[in-house]
Amino acid sequence: MSSDAAPVLRAVEGRAAYLTLNRPPALNSLTHAMLRATAEALDTWEGDPAVGTVVLQGAGERGLCAGADIRLFHDDARSGDHRAAQAFLRDEYRLNSRIAHYPKPYVAVMDGIVMGGGVGLSAHGGIRIVTERSKVAMPEVGIGLVPDVGGTYLFTRAPGHLGTHLALTGIAVGAADAMLCGLADHYVPSEALPKLLRELAEAEPDEAVARHTRQAPPGILAEQRTWIDTCYAADTVEEIVERLFATGDVAAKEAADLILSRSPMAVKATHESLRRAARLDSLEQALDQEYRVICAALDTHDLPEGIRAQIIDKDRDPKWSPATLAGVGDADVERYFAPLGERELGLG
């Protein structure tokens, strides 16, 4: 399947339509053409009475999707011409909303790595499957960005302050923790996926999935809820970090160190994004807000620098500006939420 040249594969078998992201060497990272192809497939299958279920999966053994092909954002941020990145984001966010409201069962197979834009294509679906290989994350703060594709909406609906923990650290979670946080629904061992995928062609998706659902291996977040909910309830990122260090818990200290290693500007913009998203009524309103925030990030130093360090030069040594949380003022954060006028996304 993955040898096919098309970056998105379409197939209909029985009552199921299968959409396969097909860039395995790039961990199925999303290009603009892939977004358009996915949207076109969903349009076609919505109007096809023979299609009862849509199934999203990734080619290769490593994961569903590692997110957007972010070199586009690096190039746009450096050039000062953001039209290509903004067009990508508009189509991506509209697709996220479409998936959330798709009228037919939408089954997302979140096997392996599922990050960033991959979360947007899967976690808004109606039936979300994880395996023992799943690693689900929104790691945007590590490249100078803020969680998007509806990530702020999902995180603010997670129990307690688990979503804040995931957003500010950018850590990846396994199957049990993804389900605990509301990012997935069912655990299916990876060895059972081929049979499940075949059965979806003939059976109702709920019935087919139920036959293969098992108890997920234990996660780690449930045991960490006490310090997570206490520390991340603080009003500022600085106080969150202080509380994390003060617990004396090794995992809490590691979380604090992670936050301090991320872009200070992105971390503070993320914290404020979550606070505001918690007060919004819909995914679409959150997507509108995220669009403003990401458009603002395109004009920052940290976005191209973070992508350079993580993706292009891979030296893993970004030089953030400002370099510390103390250097990011309230006005700096507020700029991320400035209205865009005629350029607003307008979903909500």
Cβ atoms within 10 Å, residue 149: 30
pLDDT exceeds 80 at position 327: yes
Give strand pairing partners of 8: 21
- What pLDDT digit, counting tens, does each position of 245-266 carry? 999 999 999 999 999 999 999 9
Host H or E run for residue 266: helix 264-277
- What pLDDT digit, counting tens, does each position of 41-82 carry? 999 999 999 999 999 999 999 999 999 998 888 888 888 889
CA distance 315 to 244: 28
Cβ contact 176:239 at 8 Å: no
Q: What percent of the chain lies above the pLDDT cut of 70? A: 99
SS3 at position 225 = helix
Mean residue pLDDT of the chain comes to 96
Structure confidence at residue 274 (pLDDT): 98
Sign of CA dihedral 204, 206, 207, 210: positive
SS3 at position 256 = helix
Q: List b or e across 127-145, with b for residues whose CB sees 16 or more CB atoms inside 10 angstroms.
A: bbbbbbbbbbbbbbbbbbb
pLDDT class of 1 with cuts at 50, 70, 90:
very low
SS3 at position 271 = helix
Sign of CA dihedral 188, 5, 30, 144: positive
- What pLDDT digit, counting tens, does each position of 329-343 carry? 999 999 999 999 999
Structure confidence at residue 80 (pLDDT): 87
Instruction: For the sheet with 135-137, list strands across it.
Output: 63-65, 113-115, 135-137
pLDDT class of 5 with cuts at 50, 70, 90:
confident
Structure confidence at residue 2 (pLDDT): 43
Q: Which two tokens stand for residue 339?
A: 């209205």
Structure confidence at residue 4 (pLDDT): 65
pLDDT exceeds 90 at position 346: yes
- What pLDDT digit, counting tens, does each position of 133-183 carry? 999 999 999 999 999 999 999 999 999 999 999 999 999 999 999 999 999
Structure confidence at residue 72 (pLDDT): 87
Using CB atoms within 10 Å of the CB of residue 98, give its burial: 0 to 12 exposed, 13 to 18 middle, 19+ buried.
Answer: middle
